[in-house]
Amino acid sequence: MELHGLKSAPGARKNKKRVARGHGSGSGKTAGRGHKGQKSRSGFSMPAGFEGGQMPLHRRLPKRGFHHRKRHSMAEINLDVVDGAFRQGEEVTVDKLRELGIVKTAVGGVKLLGRGELTKPLNLKVQAASATARAKVEKAGGVLEIVQMVSDNVAEKKDGAAD
């Protein structure tokens, strides 16, 4: 057996149907398009959702909802993730979390959640924290500071005081 002797299996290749090639072909005359009308003409295309001139469903239904362009959900991280990524006494900020790849976006800020344990004191600066997370950070001897996100993704203290 050689390459020039290979053949397809019987029935694997099928000739395309040649429509409008006379009555003997089985699809002559109207070529499978029915009789007359817009759909039988060449170049016909129907827009998506078109219902023959009747008001289409997507226009009959009311518009609902509202999408606020500036609203962003907070990224959520748990204590066990923070504990594994930072050393004792290190400062944890949104920018550092982004650099390490723990948080993908910093637009909406970061919320600290209480899953896992914190084994070392850390200085955390986040936008929100659950009560469980706050208690565990204080228990470990760390400091949790709630800061507010400014429009250019720079964190600033909520009470307006500067460092």
What pTM was estimated for this model as a whole? 0.52
Token pair listed for 104: 């993908």
The domains located in the chain, with CATH, are 75-157 (3.100.10.10)
What are the Cα distances from residue 23, in Å, to 18, 19, 31, 76, 155?
Answer: 12, 10, 10, 70, 78
Is residue 61 classed as helix, strand or coil in its secondary structure?
coil
pLDDT tens column, 121-157: 999 999 999 999 999 999 999 999 999 876 554 455 5
Is residue 143 classed as helix, strand or coil in its secondary structure?
strand
pLDDT tens column, 60-115: 999 998 888 777 788 899 999 999 988 888 899 998 999 999 988 778 889 999 99
